[in-house]
Amino acid sequence: MSQLLDMLNKHKIVAIFRGYEGEQADLAAQALVDGGIRLIEVTMNSNDALATIGRWRERFGRTARIGAGTVLDAAMAREAVAAGAEYLISPNLDEEAITYGVEHGISVWPGVMTPTEIVRAWKAGAEAVKIFPMGSLGWKYLAEIKAPLHHIPMLATGGVDLHTIGQYFKAGAAAVGMGSKLLNPDWVKAGEWDKLTEQARRFVGAVTELQADQR
């Protein structure tokens, strides 16, 4: 098991930054880190994504691990890794991007939906897969596909909030990816960083409680 996969299994929340840049993004990320978030994904379709990844690698050091999201192909994978991304996440399955990650020691968690795609990604070398779009499929779908594919770690992205997070983990999710439910856009716009930190603490606390119940 790689260090990044170990972190995914331990911390269980990946914060998704899409469409934020500059000081606003920096302060929002700091707020989430202060609240206990340890995995942050900067999507490649955000303005200044590569610069943000590089800046956050320096700013957060080993406190939080910074990855690139919306990595659609091997070319984008190369750009993201060159900028400092420690792991790659995508909404789609691109086996060349997975191969690039494997060859360079970078964890790749590709987006998949069907059992066939999940197994293809796993055979290509993906350490975990991102089940997407979970907001439409729902945790019951996850539970159904996890039953025969229990050996493959799955990151559930979409549809996760404080009321449903427990259901996703009980359905078999190794971790969850979260955007606006964690990174409230109104709070970011208003600069209400304390609210972001408190929200992060709520989700981290929910994970801690679920982990305690499973012991």
pLDDT tens digits for range 95-125 = 999 999 999 999 999 999 999 999 999 999 9
Contact 24, 35 (CB under 8 A): no
Q: Any catalytic annotation for residue 198?
A: no
The CATH number linked to 147 is 3.20.20.70
Residue 45 lies in a domain: yes
- Collapsing DSSP to helix, strand or coil, 125 comes out as coil
pLDDT at residue 84 greater than cutoff 80: yes
Residue 215 lies in a domain: no
Tally Cβ neighbours within 10 Å of residue 209: 11
pTM recorded for the entire structure = 0.96
Q: Any catalytic annotation for residue 41?
A: yes
Residue 214 lies in a domain: no
| Alpha helices by DSSP H, the chain | 3-11, 22-34, 49-60, 74-83, 95-103, 115-124, 134-137, 139-146, 165-170, 185-190, 193-214
Residue 101 lies in a domain: yes
Residue 51 structural domain: 3-208
Catalytic one among 12, 127, 130, 146? Answer: 130
Question: For position 211, what pLDDT does the model report?
Answer: 85
Catalytic one among 12, 41, 127, 146? Answer: 41
Residue 152 lies in a domain: yes
130, β-bridge pairs = 111, 155
Residue 29 lies in a domain: yes
pLDDT at residue 12 greater than cutoff 80: yes
Domain count, the chain: 1
Residue 213 lies in a domain: no
